[in-house]
Structure 1
Amino acid sequence: MSQPASNTRLRSARHAAGYRSQQELATALGVGVRQVRRWESESPPWPHPDLQQALTQLLGQDMESLGFTPPAGRDRPDPVRRSLVGATVAAVGLAAVPIQSATAMQPASVAADFEAVTRSHRRLYWSVAPATLQPAAIAHASLGCALLPETAGQTRRAVAAALAETWMLAGRIEFFDLCEPERASQTLLRALQAAGEADDPLLGAAILAHTAFIPGWDGRRDAAVERMVAARTYARRGPASAEFWAWLDAVEAECETRCGNTQTALHLIGHAEDTLAAGSEHASPAWMDWFTPVRLAAFKGNTQLKAGHLPQARTTLLGVLDNMPATEDKQRTVICGDLAAVEAASGNPEAACDYACRALDQLEITWYAMGMDRVREVRRALAPHQNQQCVRDLDERLYGWSTTVSALAR
């Protein structure tokens, strides 16, 4: 039997926007499924003006491209006005997003395909050189910017969420791996705009927390705290997991430590430990792969070091080193650097140099600017012992051609 004639344009646009059933579209529009069924019939009735606007915004196309014919005597939509109906926010550097023609829309599968590359980049971060991965992430983000105006509805939100994660990854690389805070600030702003397109509050909270590191590192406490307040506000819309809340405490503790407020930082870390112990019914998002209880202990050890609690810091950091997964190469350089700092502050230059060299061994395999910063801080702390052979041996490792040029450039 032949299929009954129907409004194939609307049905195709619905599928492209990620609404697999008539009921899903009806729910998104706040109407009954019977109404959507009538619109997808051979002779769809002309919708009420409010529903026209909702349809064009959700599906990304004008009414005629969706298969509707204006009633006799009704003016056709003005093409200039039509181009502005679907505009939302000027996300990721794009201008107003126009209503697309039917042939310009991407299929719903584009979201899954784009997300797959984003997930791959997330995993590659832990092993691929940052100078190699960062351009790839930026190129992927450029693709997402091109795809965004060619999608609508759920498909658009999925692409926007993956785009936000990609920008966030690029911003993390620029700040933590390449030490380019100004560039990272602009990249994270694009990430926040894309998260807004996706209407994903947890992504927004994560991005805002990352932006707090930038003023925190410069000792600008007020700006860091303001961004953390915004991050916590977004997280409450989540819902956020216990791990997510604990990570927010850890980020704020890191900023407080950088600003010289170690007691406040230790209090925040204690609160984070209590939060993790209590747990929650909510799972952490898949993209939050940078935080674990071991990572929290690493934050704690660094804060204890800065607070002058050297025996406690040594115990905490040695525990981190013992429990750190084999894949945590970048973080291992930071922990070795902090242990070196503990020994330098304790008057043990040979032990300090040993840990610093272990960090340099790892940095030769996996570069991490934060790890190198820790080693340089240790070398400055070892100035009173610079005539000892262990310190001279460290200098031989530290001041090769490439590292010297890098140090002078900064």
Structure 2
Amino acid sequence: MPRPTGNPKLRAARLAAGYRSQQDLIDALSARGIVVGRRQVGRWESASPPLPYPDVRRALADLLGQPLEQLGFDVTSGGERDRRPGSGPLPPVNRAPVRTPNAPQPASAAADYLAVTRAHRRLYWTVAPSTLHPAVAAHAALGEQLLEATAGRTRQTLAAALSESWLLAGRVEFFDLREPSRAGSTWVRALQAAGEADDPLLGSAVLAHMAFIPGWTGRREAAAERMTAARTYARRGPASPEFLAWLDAVEAECETRSGSTRTALNLITHGEAILAGGGEHSNPEWMDWFSPVRLAAFKGNTQLAAGHVPQARTTLLGVLEELPADADKQRTVVLGDLGAVEAAAKQPEAAAAYAVRALEMLERHWYATGLERVRDVRRALVPWQHEEYVRNLDDRLYGWGAVVSALAN
């Protein structure tokens, strides 16, 4: 496929920031007292974008959450092309240290880079996030530099692998380290690389992950906008049944956290029907975080939030039985949800036992999302906090090992 034309970095950042059209961005700039026309924004999204005026640069960087050099602009030009007549000298440009450019890379560079990306993908399930994240981020930084030295199909392959690396780095930041703001910036870079690769499914995956950020704090409208964009990209796929069901699961979790459990359960039912119906398209190689059993885990959590306690218990016990051996991160979440089920059923001792099992697993495989579930259980156990089994849970939850792990990761 030909390399996409124009300035995909700016378009991706605009979309990620919630501005679906150029007019949306124009309106946002106008609200800040900056007047630009459709033609000017079109020039910014062209293959050779002129550097905006200084006041516009600051507004663009603020609205899109990215520095100008990551929005496809050549900041080393100093903006002379768009300088206003009589405006006086522009402030000096902070130039990056001079570095020797990479020589043009052979076709093998993309395959070599992709091999490391695949290795990181597998290591995610077993390596501590504080250990893995620096390696993934450094690999992504390498990919951005190599991208400048490639062309054609080699560039496209490398860009797709780069997008996956940034996506993985963001997953570690959001799910393992609970740094949503940092993950948001990382996922913008993943979306930009997906645009360079002209890979709509990768773009859809990144956008769906970005929906988690507002979704987990109950900002339903912002999450829905990102899910609409994700589904739009998925239609350009072709998307596998697993991919489409995962989109349903993501949206269901966002709906659950905003209190719309009926909508969430309908989405999960739709996802189950898609999986049961099958399809002609295979799952993307890089999508190793979803399966029917993981859809059931989403379902159990939503049933719990909806107050369907017996159904949630049955669903989650089935998930616990079916999870693969390398799914300890997901297992900590399920154990936490089962603890919450038992707390809701007024079985506090069983709830504490599930929470302790999750903590024992977290000592081996740290996962901030799993710890959040354990803390939810502990909050539900406040009426029984003077019981010995709750004190034993507290000893484990606030032990030296748990505190050190939380700070280290």
Q: Which amino acid aligns with 1:235?
A: A
- In the TM superposition, residue 403 of structure 1 has moved relative to its aligned partner by 3.9
5 Å-filtered alignment, 1:38-187, equals 95-96=73-74, 104-187=103-186
Aligned match of 2:203: 204
**Is the contact made by 2:336 and 2:354 (CA closer than 8 Å) also made in structure 1?**
yes
Question: How far, CA to CA, are the matches of 1:284 and 1:181 in structure 2?
Answer: 27
Aligned match of 2:231: 232
Residue 350 (structure 1) aligned with residue 379 (structure 2): no
Question: How far, CA to CA, are the matches of 2:208 and 2:102 in structure 1?
Answer: 40
- In the TM superposition, residue 93 of structure 1 has moved relative to its aligned partner by 6.2
Higher RCO (C-alpha under 8 Å, 6+ residues apart): 2
Cα distance change on mapping 1:28 and 1:257 into 2, 3 Å: closer
Question: How far, CA to CA, are the matches of 2:374 and 2:383 in structure 1?
Answer: 16
Question: How far, CA to CA, are the matches of 1:359 and 1:178 in structure 2?
Answer: 17
**Is the contact made by 1:92 and 1:191 (CA closer than 8 Å) also made in structure 2?**
no
- In the TM superposition, residue 104 of structure 1 has moved relative to its aligned partner by 2.6
> Secondary structure at the residue paired with 1:281?
coil
- In the TM superposition, residue 140 of structure 1 has moved relative to its aligned partner by 0.1
- In the TM superposition, residue 87 of structure 1 has moved relative to its aligned partner by 5.5
**Is the contact made by 2:328 and 2:361 (CA closer than 8 Å) also made in structure 1?**
yes
**Is the contact made by 1:86 and 1:97 (CA closer than 8 Å) also made in structure 2?**
no
**Is the contact made by 1:333 and 1:362 (CA closer than 8 Å) also made in structure 2?**
yes
5 Å-filtered alignment, 1:227-376, equals 227-376=226-375
The normalised TM-score by structure 1 is: 0.76
> Secondary structure at the residue paired with 1:150?
coil
> Secondary structure at the residue paired with 2:325?
coil
**Is the contact made by 1:88 and 1:97 (CA closer than 8 Å) also made in structure 2?**
no
- In the TM superposition, residue 88 of structure 1 has moved relative to its aligned partner by 8.8
Aligned match of 1:193: 192
Cα distance change on mapping 1:103 and 1:262 into 2, 3 Å: closer
- In the TM superposition, residue 129 of structure 1 has moved relative to its aligned partner by 0.3
Q: How many residues align?
A: 328
Question: How far, CA to CA, are the matches of 1:331 and 1:165 in structure 2?
Answer: 21
Cα distance change on mapping 1:106 and 1:368 into 2, 3 Å: same
> Secondary structure at the residue paired with 2:363?
helix
Q: Which amino acid aligns with 1:219?
A: G
Question: How far, CA to CA, are the matches of 1:103 and 1:290 in structure 2?
Answer: 34
Cα distance change on mapping 1:134 and 1:87 into 2, 3 Å: farther
- In the TM superposition, residue 280 of structure 1 has moved relative to its aligned partner by 0.7
Question: How far, CA to CA, are the matches of 1:324 and 1:400 in structure 2?
Answer: 28
Aligned match of 1:18: none
Gaps spanning 5+ residues in structure 1: where?
Answer: 1-26, 30-52, 54-84
Cα distance change on mapping 1:340 and 1:278 into 2, 3 Å: same
- In the TM superposition, residue 400 of structure 1 has moved relative to its aligned partner by 1.5
Question: How far, CA to CA, are the matches of 2:207 and 2:126 in structure 1?
Answer: 25
Q: Which amino acid aligns with 2:230?
A: A
**Is the contact made by 1:241 and 1:280 (CA closer than 8 Å) also made in structure 2?**
yes
Question: How far, CA to CA, are the matches of 1:265 and 1:287 in structure 2?
Answer: 26
- In the TM superposition, residue 408 of structure 1 has moved relative to its aligned partner by 9.8
**Is the contact made by 1:304 and 1:312 (CA closer than 8 Å) also made in structure 2?**
yes
Pair member with larger Rg: 1
Question: How far, CA to CA, are the matches of 2:343 and 2:265 in structure 1?
Answer: 22
Question: How far, CA to CA, are the matches of 2:399 and 2:405 in structure 1?
Answer: 10
**Is the contact made by 1:304 and 1:313 (CA closer than 8 Å) also made in structure 2?**
yes
Question: Percent identical across equivalent pairs?
Answer: 67
Cα distance change on mapping 1:112 and 1:146 into 2, 3 Å: same
Question: How far, CA to CA, are the matches of 2:212 and 2:259 in structure 1?
Answer: 14
Cα distance change on mapping 1:345 and 1:407 into 2, 3 Å: farther
The normalised TM-score by structure 2 is: 0.76
**Is the contact made by 1:94 and 1:145 (CA closer than 8 Å) also made in structure 2?**
no
Question: How far, CA to CA, are the matches of 1:155 and 1:124 in structure 2?
Answer: 25
> Secondary structure at the residue paired with 2:201?
helix
Question: How far, CA to CA, are the matches of 1:360 and 1:28 in structure 2?
Answer: 50
- In the TM superposition, residue 401 of structure 1 has moved relative to its aligned partner by 3.3
Q: Which amino acid aligns with 1:137?
A: V
**Is the contact made by 2:309 and 2:341 (CA closer than 8 Å) also made in structure 1?**
yes
> Secondary structure at the residue paired with 1:126?
coil
Question: How far, CA to CA, are the matches of 2:306 and 2:408 in structure 1?
Answer: 30
> Secondary structure at the residue paired with 1:365?
coil
Query: What whole-Å deviation, never above 9, does each CA across 1:222-270 have from its counterpart, x for those lacking one?
Result: 0000000000000000010000000000000000000010000000000
Q: Which amino acid aligns with 2:249?
A: A
Question: How far, CA to CA, are the matches of 1:108 and 1:226 in structure 2?
Answer: 38
Query: What whole-Å deviation, never above 9, does each CA across 1:358-377 have from its counterpart, x for those lacking one?
Result: 10110000000000000001
5 Å-filtered alignment, 1:212-223, equals 212-223=211-222
Question: How far, CA to CA, are the matches of 1:136 and 1:406 in structure 2?
Answer: 19
Cα distance change on mapping 1:288 and 1:235 into 2, 3 Å: same
Question: How far, CA to CA, are the matches of 2:47 and 2:228 in structure 1?
Answer: 32
Q: Which amino acid aligns with 1:209?
A: A
> Secondary structure at the residue paired with 1:371?
helix
Cα distance change on mapping 1:196 and 1:217 into 2, 3 Å: same
Cα distance change on mapping 1:86 and 1:232 into 2, 3 Å: closer
Cα distance change on mapping 1:103 and 1:133 into 2, 3 Å: closer
- In the TM superposition, residue 94 of structure 1 has moved relative to its aligned partner by 6.3
Q: Which amino acid aligns with 1:243?
A: E
